[in-house]
Amino acid sequence: MKNSMLLLALFLCVGASARETTVEFNLTGVTFVRKNRELPLKMVNVNKKLKKKGLDGLPSWLAVNKNAIAYWKILMKRVEDANKAGIYKSELLFTIDHGYFYQYPPMCYRGKIEEVVPVIDGMMKDNFLTSEQGIFAIRWGSQTDIRDDSFKSEKAINEYFDGMNEEEIAEWVNFDKRSKNVLVMSNLGPQGDGTDLYATTIKPCR
C-alpha cells in the first residue's frame, strides 16, 4: 500500500476500523502557490523537510470512510502547520482544493460494495469532492440510486440515453451488473445540468 505509514497515521487519528468500507485514491489537489501561480509539488521532498521540523507529512495516498470530513480536517491541520513552518525561504503556501470526480486518478474501494455510496456522499460535503458538482445516478450490482428527480426509474434513464454515443453514456448503458464495480455519473461542475455527464468507475482495490 502506498505511503503506508502516513495512511496508518490517518486511520489512527480518526479512529477508523479496518473493517469499515473505505474509498482509496491519490491526493491530487495539493499544490504550491507562489504569487497566485501554482507550482509542481514533489511530495517526497516536502515531507523530508517537514520531518526535519518534527511535523507530520502530507500523504499522497488516502483511504477514507464515510466520515470523510474528519480526514479532511486532519489534512487541513497538517497543511496549516506546514505553511507556518516556513520550510522554504521564499513565500510558498500549500493548498488543497475541493475536487471534481474527473480530476482524480482512478479511485478504488475496500469493503462492502453497498457501503461505498455513503462514503461518496461523505466526500462530497465540501471536503475532498466539491458539493458544486451534482450526482446524476450511481449503479452497483443490480442497484440504481437515482439522484435526478426528473427520472423515476432506470428504464427512464436508459430511454433518455438511447442514441447517445458518448463514452460516458456507453459505460452506463453497458454496465455489467455482475461486476463488483460502482459507477458514478456526475456532471462537470456548477454549470452541469445532467446533459454533460462524467462517468467514474470505482473498482475493488487490489
Q: 154-196 pLDDT, tens per residue?
A: 888 777 776 665 676 788 888 999 999 999 988 765 454 555 6
Cα separation, 147 vs 128, whole angstroms: 20
The better pLDDT of the pair 98, 125 is held by 125
pLDDT of residue 138 exceeding 60, the answer is yes
Dihedral of CA 117/123/126/132: which sign?
negative
Q: What is the mean pLDDT of residues 42-55?
A: 81
Domain range for 107: 102-204
Of 98, 115, 146, which residue constitutes the final position of a domain? 98
Q: What is the pLDDT of residue 156?
A: 82
Kindly state whether residues 193 and 138 are assigned to the same domain: yes
Kindly state whether residues 84 and 17 are assigned to the same domain: yes
SS3 49: helix
Contacts of 48 (CB under 8 A, 6+ apart): none
Q: Does residue 27 contact residue 96 with C-beta atoms inside 8 Å?
A: yes
Of 39, 65, 98, which residue constitutes the final position of a domain? 98
Of 98, 121, 156, which residue constitutes the final position of a domain? 98
Span 7-21, pLDDT tens digits: 434 443 444 555 789
Kindly state whether residues 26 and 74 are assigned to the same domain: yes
Kindly state whether residues 119 and 188 are assigned to the same domain: yes
Cα separation, 131 vs 188, whole angstroms: 11
Kindly state whether residues 81 and 117 are assigned to the same domain: no
Cα separation, 35 vs 51, whole angstroms: 26
